Structure 1
Amino acid sequence: MKPADTFRTLFNSLWSKSNRAAKRPRRRHRRLRSETLESRQLLAADLNLFQHNFFDSEDVNDDGIVSPVDALAILNAIQRNQSDEGGMFTDVNNDGRRSPIDALRVLNRINRGGDKDRNDSPTDTETTVPDLPDEVRSIDGTGNNLEDENLGAAGTTLLRVADADYADGISEPGGEDRPSAREISNVLSDASVDSEGNDRGLSAFIYVWGQFIDHDIDLSLSQEDGETFDIAVPAGDPYFDPSGTGDVTIGLSRSVYDLTTGTSVDNPREQVNAITAYIDGSQVYGSDQETADGLRSFEGGRLVITDDGLLPLDESGMVIAGDIRASENISLTAIQTLFAREHNRLADEISAADPDLTDEEIYQQARAIVIAEIQSITYNEFLPALLGNNAIDSYDGYDASVNPSIANEFSTAAFRFGHSTLNDDIEFFDNDGLEVRDEISLTEAFFNPSLLEETGIDSILKYDASSQSMQIDLEVVDSLRNFLFGPPGAGGFDLVSLNIQRGRDHGLADYNSTRVAYGLDPVESFADITSDVELQGKLESLYGDVNNIDLWVGLLAEDHVRGASVGETHQAIISDQFERIRDGDRFWYENVFEGRELKELQQTTLADIIERNTNVEGLQENVFFMNATVSGTVTQAVDNSASNRSRSSSSNRNNNSSRDVAVEGVELELLDDEGNVIDSTTTDRKGSYRFSNFVHTGEYQIRLAETGETLDLLVSNGATRLRGLDFEIVV
């Protein structure tokens, strides 16, 4: 029997013995899956019964190559019921179990040729430019659904999954019996100065793309000269009321709402989404015809862009883009610029391929492709990075009965997770992952798009791919919590307070009621939300009752689901929203394109688009992860001469006088480029060590703690894996 046949027989045998899960029915419209609290807590505890390789999940033996040996290691471990992993990473899909499915993932990777580096493929491979669809989507979202032409269109109301919870049941802000939003912010969200990175290696692109896509699907405008809902500041607040007057407030205008609502308890106030709910490039092209026309050159299907490849600025110094928020920070402005360049690159290709096409035809064809790329990146890279690999159901085609509109729970609470992930500075990296200019604080990056005239977008995009984001939790950096848009008293704001207060303005239901509305069991204690005992105590001191927690607070407090960076309720809300956006979009790219065109769109990554439109090179394949690792061994030369003398001369003829043996328990240190020790470890019984907590690229050193001997290394991108950094101890 051939080795491959033996392997297949072993796999099939083990598969038949395993408990096959029944195929779950497809969820329609909204996720209504519930779990017992006991199982949820088990997930939160993350017992790590079997190891998962976060750097390359299918590389089970961590030798840098994905091969049948990796699948065989899993099957052998299952067959022997092996509990000691012996350095193997056998939980490939990171579901907390080890099963033939893990081996199948390895085999699928091999069959796809997935062990090749993205930069090993030829750059001159011919690509297909998808043709213009038979019908193009409108700018304002109307006409997408043929039965209800306004479904998901700009200017329609947000929908609710949970019942509204206004103080009077109609329109008065909720949360009247809860502490001030600023008090909650001070207690729960003061970021530790030592906070760095996150437990899954998510890069800064998790919040950059999150904000970019958020500006594609929802915008709640504030009333002008209308109702206010100011945030009370606790007396003596060190930032906003240092003199202790007790009279300070943080100003907040209430959101624009549908004037036909808010008339009775049967017709509570409903807020308006100013842009389309569809992922249709609204932030690039606009959500109304006037804006869309103002972004076009009307020559060759191109968008207006400067000679330096930047977005133009208006009279106030802000960028002119499809969304009014495009200047909020320079990372956002950089990616807005990137997709304007991508549109123009495609327009030039389309025009060159068929000079007879009109400006309008070129524009619409390039627009359709850009929208498809944004959709593909969101669902194939961003959402799996954020929610885990299996949180979103597979696509079954367009469903006219699905309402794609944005849920209030999503836009006003769940999708504001990114505020906790931002770093307090922005840096500028070259292709080697090294700084090319001084970093700036996040406060300096607010509404400062002219800075791109000095820096360009390359070094910012490289930094976003090469630096980890902060953990998704309740902690928020000072630039957002105390100095948003300026110092206190001079434009300063607290984004945490805003999130909480905005939820009350919109009459969002409390955390527990929202869980029930999404088909989840209610929590019965603060310990059901988080395993962090200190956080449990803070929540109880603020809210007293587990049934009265502000939704944004409850979502960010949750223990994360295994393999994801959000909690159970958080995952349910985001998954529900993105499934409805996709399934209710008649122009969804998988419903419009097919064959080779569709395949190329699905294989286009954010890294591809960055490298096509900038001078950035050598990015990791998935820029949503910044996971680098270095490893090596420590050995000691042992003299064999004594043992050799006891052997016959013939048997000694091929023996060296010494041999290297592994040394266990040797301490090694990881140093940054300033000589600071940022991590330490000791060698295992095989003499092996590993460091994997690199929060950004750059120059580092490995040092033997006892002798001071060092090895220099360069982490140049988010997928750097350096092996063979070995030390030999001389005795």
Structure 2
Amino acid sequence: MTLQHLLQILSFMRVRNAPRSHRKTQQKKRRLRAETLETRRLLAADFDGFRHNVFDAEDVNDDGQVTAVDALMIINAMSRQGNGDSEMFTDVNNDGRRTALDALRVINRLNQGRSSDDFSRNDRNNNDVVPSLPDEVRSIDGTGNNVENPNLGSTREQLIRIADADYADGISEPAGTDRPSAREISNELSEFDGETFSDRNLSAFIYVWGQFIDHDFGLTEEADVGESFDIEVPTGDPLFDPTGSGEATIPLTRSEFDETTGTSTDNPREQINRLTAFIDGSQVYGSDQATADGLRTFEGGRLVITDDGLLPLGDDGRVLAGDVRASENVALTSVQTLFVREHNRLADEIEAADPTLSDEAIYQQARAIVIGEIQAITYNEFLPALLGNRAISRYDGYDASVNPQLATEFSTAAFRFGHSTLNDDVGFFDNEGRDLFDEIELKDAFFASSLLDETGIDSVLKYEASAQAQEIDLEVVDSLRNFLFGPPGAGGLDLVALNIQRGRDHGLNDYNSTRKAYGLDAVDSFADITSDTELQGKLETLYGDVNNIDLWVGLMAEDHVRGASVGELTQTIIADQFERIRDGDRFYYENVFEGRELRAIDNTTLADVIERNTNVKGLQDNVFFMQAEVRGTVTAVAVEPASSRSGRGGSRDLGHSQGVDGITVELLDGDGEVVDTTITDGRGNYRFRSFAETGDYQIRLADSGETLDVLVSTGDARLRGFDFEIVV
């Protein structure tokens, strides 16, 4: 069967239900929870009859290569009209259907004349192109982006609302007076109950990048002299009220707000965003001129950096960066450092190409490119990984009528999804994916920038690409829920309780009202939010009424949308915000650059930026996914016993071998703990995909104890040939 034959077949097929575009040395080695392949949903799209191969979408029969057979299998499956997909992955485009479009995807891949393994970052064109300085550069504080409304999207503008404010008095008093304490809700819903890794194999970079860009466009701080809105702690809380005093609280001060608001029900209180609303590198360059100037050398367009390639420390021991939160954890600081290095790398190239350029011209050109790269990574990699491939609408150009300002539903609730995804430790890996330094607990990584003097940023960045994130749900690790910035009673906070309380401070409307405000149908029951019956019961006990759920809680409780790692309303809120800050940005990279310069930025991945500016090598192309696979075969070899060979000693291998089904095979981590167990199929094949991080593993036959050593060194490793032979 040739490609031409397949195309002829497809030409007679009617494409039905075409998808519509949407808007919208080891001190403490982490244990991986044992679970079988049969019970773990390794493939998020395998809920129904049509299956999607998350490792290689066009590899329909999952044999490790894409051929015309894969397209033919889809066509044959369609003609049968039944599911019959237990051995195939026929939903290539992951839209929940099986159509000719899936076969076309395979054919297009074949017409490219290369396999996915052949396509690497080094093959891309235009990576050596340095885009020129745009005719106009964006201001540091966001003003003037919109010519007709110069302050739109600039610093110190109000957050906007999509749903009506829901203050207790309709004006400014916090919402939720009839709801349980935020700490009580946290204790009931968010206690960390063991590691549950992303069912779509998202890497730890999903939260690192999320925090990095969050610090680009959103900062609402507590008022300097603000109103206290402390969180009540349940009597006898084992961590925050161990003596049972009943008087413990978790401190919180209400957010800064525009003092011209909060005067009546027609003018409710509105909070302030101190940053620009745009993705414009504020966390790298600052949002005001004084900060921006303080980060520059004013020589060759470069930013300030130490001789060791790290960010300098201020008098307070924190790194000097464009955002005040850059020292919050070592992973964030590492990415902040990475993009300062990228700026300086570009500045050196620009100066070398044209030594006549001024410091200012070099600085602005490098800045424009870096901002474009941050935007490209966000829209081309981060958002599809989080929301799915079709959640964000196509870019149709700048629209001056679009308000890019942050919605409080986004900044105060939906974009805090990342708090659920953090692991409770931070590792330091070498290029082989092995531990280079002892891992540390997350609670010890807060404001520990000086640690990078010892470890550097390379090992942190490699780790983030080589470890899976926790699932996006209501569970949050102890370092955030009980030990945020210190132990309880000595500065420690509960981030879950703070999220809920902050939503009430901002007068966020309830989950159901917010659904309606975003154009979604209201839910009628807790079962409409989550299929988890235990969680349904907890929500009902806490809230009583499905129309009274705190927004952040409802968002984190949602069942995930097919092909995404978030629920329906979460996806809608995040997509809406990122479309507006793109479409309402006159300096968005696709609106500024064109031709080879645009392609150079558009083709830049986060892996590219890391490998250009560190000694990290061999990263997976898309570092937002960590999905490794090891497979092999168990065969039986027939041996003629000595007793049947006319008295002659020894045995003779008859040379007959075949795959053996029903053999139990185990996956062990570097500490010898069983991570996963599976059973060989009818051809003796087995595979493991339960790799939560890179490193050394063993494959073991449960009956004989025979083992094979395996090194998973990258976040996209697909290792084959780990075969066993048993004698029968």
TM-score tier (shorter): over 0.9
Which amino acid letter does the alignment assign opposite residue 711 of structure 2?
Answer: L
Q: How many Å separate the matches in 2 of 1:69 and 1:140?
A: 56
Residue deviations 1:579-633 (CA, integer Å, cap 9, x gap): 1111111111001111111112111110010000000000001000000011111
Q: 1:44 to 1:632 in 2, by over 3 A?
A: closer
In structure 2, distance between residues paired with 1:291 and 1:659: 74
**Given the superposition, is the C-alpha separation of residues 285 and 118 from structure 1 closer, same or farther in structure 2, using an over 3 Å criterion?**
farther
- For 1:476-491, list aligned pairs within 5 A: 476-491=476-491
Q: 2:155 corresponds to which residue?
A: 154
In the alignment, what sits opposite 1:694?
691
Residue 13 in 1 paired to residue 9 in 2?
A: no
Identify the residue that residue 441 of structure 2 maps to in structure 1. Answer: 441
State how 1:455-470 maps to structure 2 within 5 Å.
455-470=455-470
The letter of the residue matching 1:331 is: A
Number of the residue aligned with 1:179: 180
Q: Distance in 1 between matches of 2:109 and 2:212?
A: 30
Three-state SS of the structure 2 residue aligned to 1:566 is: coil
Q: Is the 8 Å Cα contact of residues 126 and 597 (structure 2) preserved in structure 1?
A: no
1:451-488 deviations in Å (ceiling 9; x for gaps): 10010000000000000010000000000000000001
Question: 1:162-311 alignment to 2 at 5 Å?
Answer: 162-192=163-193, 194-311=194-311
Are residues 1:711 and 2:708 paired?
yes
Q: Percent identity?
A: 69
Separation in structure 2 between the aligned mates of residue 716 and residue 22 of structure 1, nearest angstrom: 37
Amino acid at match of 2:131: P
The answer on whether the counterparts of 1:58 and 1:106 sit within 8 Å (CA) in structure 2 is yes
Aligned position for 1:627 = 627
8 Å CA contact 2:124–2:603 kept in 1: the answer is no
Structure 2 counterparts to residues 54-93 of structure 1, below 5 A: 54-93=54-93
Give distance in 2, aligned partners of 1:558 and 1:666: 38
- Cα 1:44/1:635, change in 2 over 3 Å: closer
- With 669-678 and 69-78 compared, the bigger mean Cα shift is at 69-78
Distance (whole Å) between structure 1 residues aligned to residue 196 and residue 472 of structure 2: 11
Q: 1:385–1:619: structure 2 CA closer, same or farther, 3 Å change rule? A: same
Residue 533 to residue 428, structure 1, CA distance change in 2 (3 Å): same
Which deviates more, 97-106 or 200-209? 97-106
CA positional deviation for 1:557: 0.2
**2-structure distance, mates of 1:665, 1:114:** 33
What is the Cα deviation at residue 640 of structure 1? Answer: 10
- Mapped contact 1:181–1:231 kept (Cα < 8 A): yes
Letter in 2 for 1:339: F
Q: Output the amino acid matched with 1:97.
A: R
In 1: Cα distance, 2:599 partner to 2:640 partner:
59
C-alpha displacement at 1:122, in angstroms? 6.2
Cα displacement string for residues 642-674 of structure 1 (whole angstroms, at most 9, x for unaligned residues): xxxxxxxxxxxxxx9432212111100000111
* Partner SS for 1:5: helix
Q: Secondary structure at the match of 1:266?
A: coil
Flag the 1:132–1:120 CA change in 2: closer, same or farther, 3 A: closer
Gaps of 5+ in 1: 32-42, 642-655
Q: Give distance in 2, aligned partners of 1:351 and 1:335.
A: 24
Contact between 1:231 and 1:252, CA under 8 Å: does it hold in 2?
yes
Determine the C-alpha separation between the residues in 1 that align with 2:260 and 2:454: 49
Alpha carbons of structure 1 residues 550 and 123: separation in structure 2 relative to 1, 3 Å: closer
Q: Output one character per residue of 1:45-75: Cα deviation in whole Å (capped at 9) or x when no partner.
A: 9633122111122222223223333222222
Answer yes or no: is the 8 Å Cα contact 1:640–1:658 preserved in 2.
Answer: no
Equivalent position amino acid for 1:183 in 2: E
| Cα separation, partners in 2 of 1:506 and 1:481, compared to 1, 3 Å | same
Could you report, residue by residue, the CA deviation over 1:124-151 in whole angstroms, capped at 9, with x for unpaired residues? 9861100100000000000001111001
Which of 698, 720, 728 aligns to 2:725? It is: 728
The within-5 A match list for 1:515-534 is 515-534=515-534
What residue in structure 1 maps to residue 552 of structure 2?
552
CA distance in 1, matches of 2:341, 2:448: 20
TM-score by length of 1: 0.93
- Taking the TM superposition and a 5 Å limit, the aligned residue runs for 1:482-631 are 482-631=482-631
The letter for the 2-side match of 1:483 is F
3-state SS, counterpart of residue 582 of structure 1: helix
Instruction: Identify which range, 244-253 or 116-125, moves more after superposition.
Output: 116-125
Asked whether the 8 Å contact 1:638–1:661 carries over to 2, the reply is: no
Question: Does the 8 Å contact 1:49/1:97 carry over to 2?
Answer: no
Counterpart in the other structure of 2:391: 391
- Which secondary structure does the structure 2 equivalent of 1:556 belong to? helix
Distance 2:701 2:390 in 1: 42
Cα displacement (A) at 1:403:
0.7
Aligned pair partner of 1:682 in 679, 698, 720: 679
- Number of aligned positions between the proteins: 698
Q: Is this contact kept in 1: 2:45–2:94, CA < 8 A?
A: no
What's the CA shift for 1:85?
Answer: 2.3
SS at match of 2:537: helix
Work out the CA distance in 2 between the residues paired with 1:179 and 1:58.
Answer: 49
State the partner residue of 2:28: none
Q: Is the 8 A contact 1:44 1:561 kept in 2?
A: no
Contact 2:126/2:600 (8 A) holds in 1: no
What displacement does 1:170 show?
0.4
- Displacement after TM superposition at 1:724 (Å): 1.5
Structure 1 residue 279: Cα displacement: 0.4
Alpha-carbon separation, structure 2, partners of 1:552 and 1:125: 42
3-state DSSP of counterpart to 2:656: strand
Query: CA RMSD for the aligned pairs?
Result: 1.9
The match for 1:130 is 131
Corresponding residue for residue 649 of structure 2: none
| Structure 1 pair 114–590 and aligned structure 2 pair: CA distance change class (3 A) | farther
For structure 2, the residue ranges without an aligned partner over 5 or more in a row are: 25-42, 642-652
2:280 and 2:153 mapped to 1: Cα distance? 11
Q: Give, in whole Å, the separation in 2 of the partners of 1:107 and 1:359.
A: 50
CA distance in 2, matches of 1:68, 1:411: 47
Which residue of the partner structure matches residue 29 of structure 2? none
Change (3 A) 1:518 1:607: same
Matched residues in 1 for 2:640 and 2:152: separation?
A: 80
Range moving further from structure 2, 101-110 or 117-126: 117-126
Retained in 2: the 8 A contact 1:414–1:555?
yes
2:40 aligns to what? none
Q: Distance in 2 between matches of 1:566 and 1:223?
A: 32
Alpha-carbon contact 1:628-1:715 (below 8 Å) kept: yes
Deviations 1:225-267 (A, max 9, x none): 2211110001000000000010111110110101111010000
Quick one: distance in 1 between partners of 2:612 and 2:425? 27
